[in-house]
Structure 1
Amino acid sequence: MRFGLRWLLAAWTVVVLLGAAGAAGPVAAPVTDGGTSAAALSEMFQRYGDTSGAWLGADRTASVALPDGRRLWLFSDTFLGRPDPDGARPRTADLVHNSAIVQDGARLETVTGGSPARPASLVSAGDDQFSWIGDATVRSDEVQVLVNRYRRTGQGPLDHALAGTELTTLALPTLAAGQVRALPVGAKVSWGSEVMVDGEYTYVYGTEAAGQMKFAHVARVKGTDLGQAWQFWTGQEWSNRAGESGRLLSGVGTTYGVRRVGEQYVLVTHENNLMFSSDFVAYTAASPTGPFEGPQYLFRAPETDAGHIVYDADLHLDLARPGSLLVSYNVNDLDEAVAYADASIYRPRFFEVPWPPKRAKQLPAPPAAVTAVPDGAGTAGVSWKAESGLSYQVYRRDVTAGQTHFVRLPGEAAGTFRSEFLTNGHKYEFGVTAVDRRGESAMSPVAGMTATVPPPPAPTLVRADPDNAGKVTLHWTEVPFVQLFKVYYRDLTTGQRGRTAAGAYPGQSATVGPLRHDHEYEFTAVAVGGGGDSVHSKGIRATAVVAPPAAPSIPSAQTRPDGTVLLSWAAVGPGLGYRIYQRDATAGAQDWGPPGLATTTQFRSRPLQHGHDYEFVVAAVNDGGEGARSPVVRVRAQLAPPGEAPTRLRAEPKGTAVELSWRSQATWHWIFRRDVTAGEKEFTREEIGAQGDEATLTNLVAGHEYELAVAAFNPGGAGPRSESVRVVVASALPTNLAAVATGPGTARLTWRETRTDVLYRVQMRDATAGEQWRTEPYPVDGNRHETFMLIAGHRYEFRLQVNDLTTDPVSVTAQ
């Protein structure tokens, strides 16, 4: 299974940003001065999971009272959404590895990381890692939360390893997430099973997984700041070195509760000295560091009668009714199909028991003559002298595994008992108690033995059921005294020879995948028993099937100022890719063309043609191919005009032209000009835009002053203009114009050119005769001009014209 993984590590030891994910939910269980009942809390979470539409179920279930009266519930693996009408958990339900629920009076609200459209874990980890929530404590201005980070070591649900413990903070009263920082406490113990403030210290309890056992550890900090230096209990004294932390007792869960009740410290845990136990037990001590005595059996979870498993425990002493302990625990199922078929399974449960427990003044005597004898099949025969009228309970302790306390074995006996699930070469101790209507006796003297356990037989694979999501569920027959199996596969289609490990699985089934569509695989299984691993089972074959995914719902389309369109849609399912098709409806396009690709539920198109209507569809893709396309969404592309004006405009006259330069991020620009000399009041835009950040203006009037400006433009329009500059176009008029009579009826004009690319028009008149100015018919090139047929004695005036400018006149009297 690939969900609700905390229960697996609880049963097997083989191995903040904040954003509301849902609106305020149903009415919560009332908390009064008299406390809250276990039934009310269990019902509160069942009702919220059924009706909130935000939270389907979770495990861990730590609770912290906030200073303003609210309560913060912290969870690890959490399913989001709402159940199907038949009460099943949808296969498409989002899973995050940690979350919270804020209880404000009678209202509940789910809190995750990410966004409502894309929820994420409250505390995120790196790639191929995830974080499970530990306990928390409240300081004056913040909630400090311990989180344990795990890395994946394989494909199976048990294939994880502790990577370290981190501390994150939530600000009060806003619960805004602070930084997550690693604590220098090593990776042997998952710290945060419990946080208990007691006197001048805050005690932090943790769990060490070692083989098939779990051991409690304790550390402390001075005051209430978990970010300060930690000290670790070695078993004899406090040490500053995490590696010297010592074991307190065995058989705790990943989560357990510790609180001071009266003069005693009470530790409540799921019974983990025995796999898949239905019992919850208490240990007591006079000190936070122990030694702890017990166990005292508190409660048997009824969910195990339906084949479910229970795990983890936490004390909620501030919610308990007077004279009782209030304990939460978690429920799941080894069969993934069962867990998905009923969303109510994977939700917190609560029980309450009177405390301190009452004891009878007179109890039966313990049995005598207890013996324990191993057999060759991996079991032990326990016998004792039985008496009529009494029933008996058998207890066992695995000395070799370091088990610190005896565990009660399921079932009653009347003189003989067969103990199963032993480990080869381990030394065990057995004790027996007598039970009558008055209660249970003290334990008998113990009997010891060393187990002889052969490797188990290989399981028989009986069925391989492919689903339509690329997964294959394997089923095998029961193997006596075996609860753990390793699964392997090889891809026959690709000719794979060696086997690929698919992980370790408890129970009698495993779901492997996703696998490649239309590939045939061979699967084998290995039984893991107290005598080691069996040989591989005979292979069973199946062809993986991946059905194309369903069509996404109609996407939303949001135009962007850069001319792109941002598409968003609801996820069809986990692990899918998407193809996005578009066509230009304004241009009459009928074909969708090649698709864009996305691995998330958002896609941004390339810049589109401004003012055109575009149509988009989205299709989900998996190994089985492309699914049906979504309904069409239509949107008009809009490109915003440039928002910034060009800067540093410069104008340099080059003859009758002007060279412009400027700075701008845009590509195209309009040039605006105004002829100041001609008295123009308004700017005129050039007809052709300029590409880049420079341009040359021609067709200017020599000698005129111009005011110039530049503005960037795109299909959406023109942006703001730059600051204007003024420039005077150089005059083309020559200087030093002179006229000399050169002979009868002739004269010569000479001048000095200011430019060499100019043609001149010569104008003249007979001043003596009172003649008007007339222009010679042909333009003149160079710096001289000869004129003829002048009347002797008449005075003539001459001038040169360039464009609409003329020089001052000069005169000469003809000979």
Structure 2
Amino acid sequence: MTNSATGRRATGGRPPARWLLALHTAVLLAVGPAVVPDRPGDEPSISADRLTALFDRYGDTSGQWSGGDRTASVTLPDGRTLWLFSDTFLGPMQPDGSRPRTAPFIHNSAVVQQDGELRQTVHGGSAWRPASLVPPPAAAQFYWIGDATVAGQSLQVLVNRYRRTGSEPLDHALLGTALATFALPALTPTGLRPLPVGSRISWGSEVLHDGHHTYVYGTEAAGEARFAHVARVAGDDLTAPWEFWTDAGWSPSEDRSARLLSGVGTAYGVQRVGARYVLVTQQNNLIFSPDLVAYTAHSPTGPFEGPDYLYRAPENEAGHLVYDADLHPDLARPGRLLISYNVNDLDDAVTYADAGVYRPRFLEVAWPRRRSDPGDLPPPPADLTAVADGGGHARLAWRAPGADDELRYQVHRRDVTAGQTHFVRVGEPVTDPGYSADFLVNGHDYEFRVTTVSGRGESRPSAAARMTARVPPPPPPGGVRAVAGVAGDVMLHWDPVPFVQLFRVEQRNLTTGERSRSLVLTHTGTSASFGSLRHGETYEFTVVAVGGGGDSPPSVPVRATAFVAPPPAPSGLTAAPRPDGTIALTWTTLGPGVSYQVQRRDVTAGERRLGQPSPEGGAEHTARYLTHDHEYEFTVTAVNSGGAGPMSAPVRARARYTPPTMTPTGLRAEPGPGSVELTWRSAKPGGWYEVYRRDLTAGQRDFTAEEVRVNGTGATVIQLRNGHEYEFAVAAVNEAGAGPLSEPVRATPQLPTPTGLTATAMGNGEVRLSWRSAGPSLFYRLYLRDTTRGETWRPDPYPVQDTSHTAVLLTRGHRYEFRVVAADGTAESRPSHPVAVDVR
């Protein structure tokens, strides 16, 4: 709900009503493929009643979008209209028209309108796990939507960035404004760039193309007032340099941006009609006003005159709140303003029980307005006085302009201290020349005016009367009581306090030993629901009344012990086999605060019991490491702080692998002693492979697979015959079989040849031999020959385990040659270089 909350609603599972602030203080993924028309065509003008009905029908039947706020629109070059929303509820409705508590909630989205119909919801994430269209820039941050424009073939959307400042969803602070861009016509995200502006003004309340410039309006929140600002760029591209209106001219410094007028909402509309500019907003000079008003000026920078009261939203009479008015000139019928506004309720249970509450409404107003002849209007009241009575009231009195019993009087008020630039209507017209204005703020200066109302119209205002309010603090609320629910929630009730509209609720957790209370809610009603409380823990609550004179003392504290019923069995469990042998499970989420446990059994293998549960934080799971062509049964259990609920109804699916189609490439073979080191490349990292070989020297014609499969892109083949030539190939493999063989390579394993052989004559017919090791797990054989006698090579009869040996019983005076080979018991290496020695 728009950036408009002064308080926080402590509710579990649903983002609280952040619209309260404005009212009090004033990778692209979609559910379906992008809808792109075959040919461009402009959306025709459309009536307000039809637009309201379109969104009601789409929310009820689309199964994609059930409600949202902000409601900006932009016409795309192909004729489609894109509706942009900030806080958005997704998912289908329930048959009774309610919104399920498990409905997905995101901070921004869009809906595509084509040929007069709403066609598609656009958001980020996936259909199973939707996310905001403009994703958060960091943890505990998010974007709310401003207005948008088209520059060339790019959609530019102004978004305001917020940071959470506490544990409650409404604890947030403005950080700045960014520009999100999307390629057209597919609405593909192309960028998100921060704009060089600060955090005082949320820019994007309106984007207005006028002449050679594009004007960007923004809103500044200052205490309980909101003020309009304006910047501009040359041309249509919002990436161009910005300059800001200073009340005397334009400056490149945002710090010099001047206030145009007070009483605007976070969103408002500005449109040029003829030679004048009209600004339409929900009246924010008065708390919770249901009035939509217009201000006019001869320039987009003002000064603005008004207000001109256009419409009083009837939803206010039903206890709802209205906010964020906007204009949609591209769809308006001639001679009319097409206005949207948003609706919500202080009790979030209402927005769930009746999904139609949280949707835009549209209305049309004839413009320019017909003005009464000033000569026909009644005269204004005279001699207006305003006196503070010390109770937060101003007693007004005036002299009636005549004795006409049909005359009525409308009171108007301006809070001078708060910086309000225009007067606002207070209450309904009265028949007597006197009035008591209440809900004033202590120490604030107020100005009052009164107009005369008759069948001929409303008079000019009287001269203003000024006074300073004196307001004592209110008494503490009484009758505070707390009732625990079954979902970790507590409903708190208290009695009304006269002349108080606002209350603050604080809580502390007695079970965890919290010593100080923390603020959990600023609220306007006399009952509120608090969620996300921990099962079995006791909480203490107090209520403070906030009046014009300050805060009351805290109420008498009350306690409640939270209870969380275990969740029901998940529904909608489905199991879909994938080509990689996994099975994808999905089910209907039960909302925040719930995790899940997935269990399975192999039906084909005869397993009778479910296996160990696999935890999941969301409503999806991928079952892995399954046996090909086996049928599996799955169930899901939901778990919350109250424990585990019952199992879902089981589903079955058969795991099936598709044999690999990928062929390994770049196979290389590095021979070693009785082994070959193989390496290869794969287009898919990881995975399993089968290695094949054949002994060409032995005449083998067919490949034989190695007994052990390989995970990765390398393998060592052992127990090969040295000196034999082998051919090798590799294939990717899974449980369905092997894929195509790689190109083969050949290699011949060889034992390493000893090196560094030396021979030293020792005397007595002995020679000492030594050499360097050829490697582990090898032994050596010595070969010798008496060259004096002309002998051929003969082996020494005994193998040598070490790298040295003494040859004995040699003939003195004869020359001998020696060489050494490495052996492994099945083969010998090539001999070392021979060495010669004369025996002594």
TM-score by length of 1: 0.84
Q: Distance in 2 between matches of 1:148 and 1:728?
A: 69
- Residue type of the alignment partner of 2:617: T
Tell me how far 1:711 sits from its aligned partner: 5.9
* Equivalent residue number for residue 454 of structure 2: 436
Which residue of the other structure, out of 653, 674, 677, is the alignment partner of 1:661? 677
1:351-430 alignment, distance < 5 Å: 351-361=363-373, 362-386=376-400, 387=402, 388-389=404-405, 390-413=407-430, 414-430=432-448
> Could you say if the C-alpha distance between residues 439 and 490 of structure 1 is closer, same or farther in structure 2, counting changes exceeding 3 Å?
same
Q: Distance in 2 between matches of 1:8 and 1:557?
A: 43
Q: Which moved more, 1:506-515 or 1:226-235?
A: 506-515
Tell me how far 1:614 sits from its aligned partner: 3.7
- Residue type of the alignment partner of 2:129: R
- Residue type of the alignment partner of 2:519: A
Structure ID, larger Rg: 1
3-state secondary structure, aligned to 1:339: helix
Which residue of the other structure, out of 687, 691, 715, is the alignment partner of 1:693? 715
Tell me how far 1:342 sits from its aligned partner: 1.2
Which residue of the other structure, out of 101, 106, 114, is the alignment partner of 1:91? 101
> Could you say if the C-alpha distance between residues 636 and 478 of structure 1 is closer, same or farther in structure 2, counting changes exceeding 3 Å?
same
Q: Distance in 2 between matches of 1:650 and 1:783?
A: 40
**Equivalent residues of 2:667, 2:745 under 8 A apart:** no
* Equivalent residue number for residue 771 of structure 1: none
> Could you say if the C-alpha distance between residues 737 and 547 of structure 1 is closer, same or farther in structure 2, counting changes exceeding 3 Å?
same
**Equivalent residues of 1:6, 1:59 under 8 A apart:** no
Q: Which moved more, 1:257-266 or 1:125-134?
A: 125-134
Q: Which moved more, 1:54-63 or 1:147-156?
A: 147-156
Tell me how far 1:564 sits from its aligned partner: 5.1
Q: Which moved more, 1:228-237 or 1:686-695?
A: 686-695
**Equivalent residues of 1:113, 1:122 under 8 A apart:** yes
**Equivalent residues of 1:372, 1:449 under 8 A apart:** yes
**Equivalent residues of 1:583, 1:616 under 8 A apart:** yes
Q: Distance in 2 between matches of 1:302 and 1:437?
A: 23
Q: Distance in 2 between matches of 1:557 and 1:368?
A: 79
* Equivalent residue number for residue 80 of structure 2: 70
> Could you say if the C-alpha distance between residues 736 and 475 of structure 1 is closer, same or farther in structure 2, counting changes exceeding 3 Å?
closer
- Residue type of the alignment partner of 1:306: A
> Could you say if the C-alpha distance between residues 491 and 53 of structure 1 is closer, same or farther in structure 2, counting changes exceeding 3 Å?
same
> Could you say if the C-alpha distance between residues 649 and 611 of structure 1 is closer, same or farther in structure 2, counting changes exceeding 3 Å?
farther
**Equivalent residues of 1:562, 1:607 under 8 A apart:** no
1:429-472, Cα deviation, whole Å (9 max, x unpaired): 11100111110111111111100111111122543233322121
3-state secondary structure, aligned to 2:349: helix
Q: Is 1:651 paired with 2:671?
A: yes
- Residue type of the alignment partner of 2:458: E
Q: Distance in 2 between matches of 1:543 and 1:31?
A: 59
**Equivalent residues of 2:43, 2:114 under 8 A apart:** no
Q: Distance in 2 between matches of 1:379 and 1:728?
A: 104
**Equivalent residues of 1:583, 1:589 under 8 A apart:** yes
1:777-796 alignment, distance < 5 Å: none
1:543-602, Cα deviation, whole Å (9 max, x unpaired): 212121222235444556776544333312233211122334444433434322121223
Q: Distance in 2 between matches of 1:247 and 1:265?
A: 17
- Residue type of the alignment partner of 2:383: A
* Equivalent residue number for residue 541 of structure 1: 559
Q: Distance in 1 between matches of 2:649 and 2:229?
A: 57
- Residue type of the alignment partner of 1:92: T
**Equivalent residues of 1:6, 1:77 under 8 A apart:** no
Q: Which moved more, 1:602-611 or 1:223-232?
A: 602-611
- Residue type of the alignment partner of 1:325: L
* Equivalent residue number for residue 632 of structure 1: 650
Q: Distance in 1 between matches of 2:749 and 2:173?
A: 79
- Residue type of the alignment partner of 2:204: G
> Could you say if the C-alpha distance between residues 754 and 38 of structure 1 is closer, same or farther in structure 2, counting changes exceeding 3 Å?
farther
Tell me how far 1:726 sits from its aligned partner: 4.1
**Equivalent residues of 2:164, 2:170 under 8 A apart:** no
Which residue of the other structure, out of 273, 278, 281, is the alignment partner of 1:269? 281
Q: Distance in 1 between matches of 2:268 and 2:687?
A: 63
Q: Distance in 1 between matches of 2:587 and 2:64?
A: 18
Aligned length: 742
- Residue type of the alignment partner of 1:552: P
Q: Distance in 1 between matches of 2:575 and 2:668?
A: 39
- Residue type of the alignment partner of 2:640: N
**Equivalent residues of 2:268, 2:324 under 8 A apart:** yes
Q: Which moved more, 1:444-453 or 1:580-589?
A: 580-589
**Equivalent residues of 1:646, 1:662 under 8 A apart:** no
Q: Distance in 1 between matches of 2:420 and 2:297?
A: 18
Tell me how far 1:177 sits from its aligned partner: 1.5
1:319-359, Cα deviation, whole Å (9 max, x unpaired): 22222211111111112222222111111111112212122
**Equivalent residues of 1:522, 1:540 under 8 A apart:** yes
**Equivalent residues of 1:232, 1:244 under 8 A apart:** yes
Q: Percent sequence identity over matched residues? A: 55
* Equivalent residue number for residue 681 of structure 1: 701
Which residue of the other structure, out of 276, 301, 319, is the alignment partner of 1:307? 319
> Could you say if the C-alpha distance between residues 583 and 32 of structure 1 is closer, same or farther in structure 2, counting changes exceeding 3 Å?
closer
3-state secondary structure, aligned to 2:571: coil
Q: Is 1:724 paired with 2:745?
A: yes
1:574-633, Cα deviation, whole Å (9 max, x unpaired): 332111223344444334343221212233445345565443322121111112222223
Q: Which moved more, 1:201-210 or 1:619-628?
A: 619-628
Q: Distance in 1 between matches of 2:307 and 2:630?
A: 76
3-state secondary structure, aligned to 2:512: coil
Q: Is 1:202 paired with 2:214?
A: yes
3-state secondary structure, aligned to 1:468: coil
Q: Which moved more, 1:320-329 or 1:576-585?
A: 576-585
**Equivalent residues of 2:691, 2:709 under 8 A apart:** yes
* Equivalent residue number for residue 545 of structure 2: 527
**Equivalent residues of 2:688, 2:732 under 8 A apart:** yes
TM-score by length of 2: 0.82
Q: Give unmatched runs, 5+ long, in structure 1.
A: 739-748, 759-781, 785-801, 805-815
* Equivalent residue number for residue 252 of structure 1: 264
**Equivalent residues of 2:601, 2:634 under 8 A apart:** yes
